Structure 1
Amino acid sequence: MQQPASARRATIGRGAKVRTAVLAATIDELVERGYTTLTVDQIAQRAGVHKTTVYRRWADLDALIVDALTEHIAADIPIPDTGSVAEDLRLLARGLVAWISSPIGRAVLAIMVSDAAVRVPELAESRRRIFHDRIERARPVVDRAVARGELPPDTDAAELIKNLAAPVYFRVLITGESVDRHTADHAAAAALAAARDAGSASGS
């Protein structure tokens, strides 16, 4: 039998545990309900806290959503380190495809490209911050490859990561095609080839 909200609130605790519970509840509610019908009351009930607890930590619902999206995406797409740039990029692309294809990924992406992301300055800034964060987190893949001599010294890490992600997002957002491991592997190989070709051209 499900516990009453008051009983659940008593077990949550304070500080980091509250933050974790509220952020997780926010993502879960976004997946189930979508952005337009989401409320702080729903999130608080799901997290097992009172809504005043939420408002003490986040100014409003949009601020909470921004925080939840940023942390979720940062944690949900791992950055590989296999010792091979080809394999690292392949796994990175596969992680992106797996995330985009998941219920949470689809819900988050829908918010990121919705009119709300244009109308709400916090969400628009969150989108820029999230994508910048993803590039910075993936940068070590390129830096390690340069150090191993697998990529030219002047390789633009940000450009390589964008080239890897662009075909995946294009299929999902523009053409409405499905994406799978083949899509990921092709995107990784094309991005790697482009980086190597750019290095060859600059050195000629």
Structure 2
Amino acid sequence: MDKPKPPQLRGVKLQRAVLDATIARLEAVGIDQVRIADVAVAAGVHETSIYRRWRTLARLLADALVSRTAAEVPIPDTGSVRTDLVEFTTALARFVATPTGTALVRGTVLADDDPEVAAMREEYWRQRLAASEQIVRRAQARGEVATTADPRTVVLTLGGLVHMHATHLGREVSPQTIRTAVDMIVDGIAAA
């Protein structure tokens, strides 16, 4: 007697299964060893389903990392710019310390010579920066931060701090360093 075939995944269920399997493979074997065939087996789908939706391994890895980042680094809204920036930067630092976060920050998954992946990476950063900048924009609307403060510079400064610790210093940024950096920034952009 033949074994019954597992139900075919479609739409959101297929996407979730494949992205989760991709992250699991990335964490298990490292980014350089992830293969679409292995992801397909882990997700319980056919390789053709993955190729149809993502077309390339680079696009699949990028999408998986983008999805994971949004889940792991939410944009806080506590009503205090100082608290929001500490929470955001702390979540970012915690994420960067994971194998998935490290892969994203180091950019090892995104090939510069692939225009499609480069466009996807650009769109990802546009969306993430726009979302992160809302922390400062909300504080400006509350009168907490000067209207002349540049939200993107604030976010990039804190992101750069985390990035430098992860990629160049080889260690996590400490909670005290995060608080000190946020204090310096908030004191500098505070409304008069």
Normalised TM-score (structure 1): 0.82
Task: Tell me the CA shift for residue 171 of structure 1.
Answer: 1.6
Q: Which runs of 5+ in 2 are unaligned?
A: none
Task: Tell me the CA shift for residue 157 of structure 1.
Answer: 0.9
Counterpart among 69, 72, 78 of residue 73 in structure 1? 69
Matched positions, count:
190
> In 2, are the aligned partners of 1:74 and 1:133 still within 8 Å (CA)?
no
Task: Tell me the CA shift for residue 115 of structure 1.
Answer: 8.3
In 1, Cα distance between equivalents of 2:110 and 2:13: 29
In the alignment, structure 1 residue 143 sits paired with structure 2 residue 118? no
Counterparts of residues 113-124 of structure 1 (less than 5 Å): 114=108, 117-124=111-118
> In 1, are the aligned partners of 2:22 and 2:61 still within 8 Å (CA)?
yes
Task: Tell me the CA shift for residue 16 of structure 1.
Answer: 0.8
**Coordinate RMSD, CA, aligned:** 2.3
In the alignment, structure 1 residue 30 sits paired with structure 2 residue 26? yes
Counterpart among 168, 179, 191 of residue 173 in structure 2? 179
- SS in structure 2 opposite 1:140? helix
In the alignment, structure 1 residue 133 sits paired with structure 2 residue 127? yes
Counterparts of residues 1-204 of structure 1 (less than 5 Å): 10-11=6-7, 13-110=9-106, 112=107, 114=108, 117-196=111-190
Q: Which runs of 5+ in 1 are unaligned?
A: 1-5
Q: Which moved more, 1:140-149 or 1:59-68?
A: 59-68
Higher share in helix: 1
Task: Tell me the CA shift for residue 28 of structure 1.
Answer: 1.4
Normalised TM-score (structure 2): 0.86
Task: Tell me the CA shift for residue 162 of structure 1.
Answer: 0.8
In 1, Cα distance between equivalents of 2:30 and 2:118: 17
